[in-house]
Amino acid sequence: MAIRPIQIILILAMLIGIVSAIPVPLGVDGRVYGLDGITPADSTVRFSIENTRTGWSIYSRLRADGTYSAALPGIEGDTFQIIFWTDWNSVTLTRQIDGVLHNNNAILNLSHPYQGPVFTSVPIESALEDTLYAYEATTDSMALLSLIQGPASMHLNGSMVFWLPGDADVGIHHIKISAYDNISTSYQEYDLEIIPVND
């Protein structure tokens, strides 16, 4: 039985249709900039790319120069959703695939909200009974310090925490200091162990 020309055309048409529907890696790349559109982001920015038709996705971080590139299986016409984010901000791009997608750049707010004063001092976490305990609490900005929690006879004078623990104070005491800078309040918490001495 001979194959007719029309059959060859139909077979070729079916093969072309099958081949065009086979998923192949589809690439996407670009760069992320800060709000000024000039300053590149860095590797602290994370991103995900998802083929919304197949559900395939990839998660990673930007390179140090703010660039990214990835490839996901798919076919022409699939939609990629690209999300870039920090702990505070995010931006989403949606792109329909037509070959390799180059220069899919994004603008992302790289700043973070003010977190309040930061304590720069490291607490002294042990002291001897019957010996004056003194610790200077410092912050990275001008702030009003307050003793929020501590033993009854402990006091704060400016930035200095003072306390004269006695025999009854042997053990662990939780200390909490606040720092307020007219915008926000931060806290430093630690446990202070009072060690007994032989009297």
Query: What is the per-residue pLDDT across 58-111, written as a single tens digit (0 to 9) for each?
Result: 999 999 999 999 988 888 899 999 999 998 899 999 999 887 788 999 999 998
What would the pLDDT profile of 107-148 be if each residue is shown by its tens digit? 999 988 888 899 999 999 999 999 999 999 999 989 999 999
**What 3-state class would DSSP assign to 9?**
helix
What are the φ/ψ torsions at residue 150 (nearest 5 degrees)?
170, 175
Locate CATH 2.60.40.10 in the chain: 25-107, 126-195
Please tell me the CATH code under which domain 25-107 is placed: 2.60.40.10
For the 126-195 domain, the top CATH level (class) is mainly beta
